[in-house]
Structure 1
Amino acid sequence: MSKLSPLNWPVVRQMQRGDLFGRDKSTQSSKSRDMHGRTVEADKVVQSVCPYCAVGCSQRVYVKDDRVVHIEGDPDSPVSRGRLCPKGAASEQLVNSATRLTKIKYRAPHATEWEELDVETAMDMIADRFIESRRNQWQDFDDEGRVLNRTMGVAGLGGATLDNEENYIIKKLFTAAGAVQVENQARI
């Protein structure tokens, strides 16, 4: 029987097998019958949290050969119950993007090229600049002699991708450092 024979039509197969509503395997083509999900071949499944906002939707991350192959919502999560927003559903593209930076880049003042830095050097540079700015802009008293104990040279900006605990710690850090300009992107 040729491929184009009316006997190969799905509706005919449905009638022959008693599947009048087309809900059985009679409606499947050989191509779709041979297909399988991309999660079937994964080496492991890792629990994670979506990186995009502070809601904290739980994700199942499927990994094959140390590479993320699929991300989906975790139906066991009391927060999202297996659902992800469009950004969360596309977070696999964030992980596997060819344009994703995986090394620390630094461009010195007036330089035209970026250079790579190791983590220790970058963290030391940030800490040194933070301390120097705090020290240079520190105010003990105002013009009338009132105690200030603050700096106007350091400001903190929290992000919506951080959860409440992280934002709380950041607020504590900047307040302890004397910063009065502590804000969150959600209010801007």
Structure 2
Amino acid sequence: MPRKLSLDWPVLRQLTSGDVFARDKNTESEKYRTMQPRTAEADRVVQSVCPYCAVGCGQLVYVKDEKVIQIEGDPDSPVSRGRLCPKGSASEQLVNSETRVTDILYRAPRSTEWVKLDHESAMDMIADRWIEARRNGWEDVDKHGRTVNRTFGIAGLGGATLDNEENYLIKKLFTASGAIQLENQARI
């Protein structure tokens, strides 16, 4: 029994419409015509920088109902020109992971238990320790009698994903505190 030739067959449409190289709408399926990108439903798009390494690739973060729904490479980024490595492409999973820790946790020395802290208590604890370390490690003069006004009680290790403005402010903070041991991930 001969098979009936369908007029909707893509090759037949291609030949009868003059689209020999199949670059026209003749080769589109109904599913393709109705497809929408995942980002079409986003309320807003936020520019960001990938948190994983020192390269600093640009990201576009799509947000809907205050939840990240997609992260893509930013084509306007001079660093990555819209491309992301596999880790950067998967950073949406980092943000939306059910196992992501969003509380401030503190474990006292020699303790086996983590304790949740509120933001203000954690900031006070950091500030108190900063001042104590600065005071305990302060040096007015060195062994040759020269004025140095420095501390060895505070050191800084910066991350390379910070932008110039953030690094500038961190450097100012540490220098104003008298710290001289400052390093950055980008140099290591």
Could you tell me the percent identity over the aligned residues? 62
Structure 1 residue ranges without an equivalent (≥5): none
Provide the C-alpha distance between the structure 2 equivalents of 1:6 and 1:37, rounded to a whole number of angstroms: 34
1:132 alignment partner AA:
E
Instruction: List per-residue Cα deviations over 1:91-113 (Å, max 9, x = no partner).
Output: 32232222322111111111112
Query: Structure 1 residues 92 and 128 mapped into 2: Cα distance closer, same or farther (>3 Å)?
Result: same
Query: Which residue matches 2:13?
Result: 13
Compute the RMSD of aligned alpha carbons.
2.5
Query: Which residue matches 2:63?
Result: 63
Query: Structure 1 residues 60 and 151 mapped into 2: Cα distance closer, same or farther (>3 Å)?
Result: same
Moved more, 17-26 or 162-171: 17-26
Query: Structure 1 residues 147 and 80 mapped into 2: Cα distance closer, same or farther (>3 Å)?
Result: closer
Moved more, 106-115 or 117-126: 106-115
Q: For the Cα contact (< 8 Å) 1:106–1:115, is it kept in 2?
A: yes
**TM-score of the aligned structures, taking structure 2 as reference length:** 0.83
Query: Which residue matches 1:116?
Result: 116
Moved more, 161-170 or 4-13: 4-13
Structure 2 residue ranges without an equivalent (≥5): none
Q: For the Cα contact (< 8 Å) 1:45–1:62, is it kept in 2?
A: yes
Provide the C-alpha distance between the structure 2 equivalents of 1:81 and 1:138, rounded to a whole number of angstroms: 43
Query: Structure 1 residues 144 and 104 mapped into 2: Cα distance closer, same or farther (>3 Å)?
Result: same
What pairs with 1:109-148 in structure 2 (closer than 5 Å)?
109-148=109-148
Query: Which residue matches 2:41?
Result: 41
Query: Which residue matches 1:84?
Result: 83
Shift of 1:125: 0.7
1:165 alignment partner AA:
E
**TM-score of the aligned structures, taking structure 1 as reference length:** 0.83
SS of corresponding position for 2:19:
coil
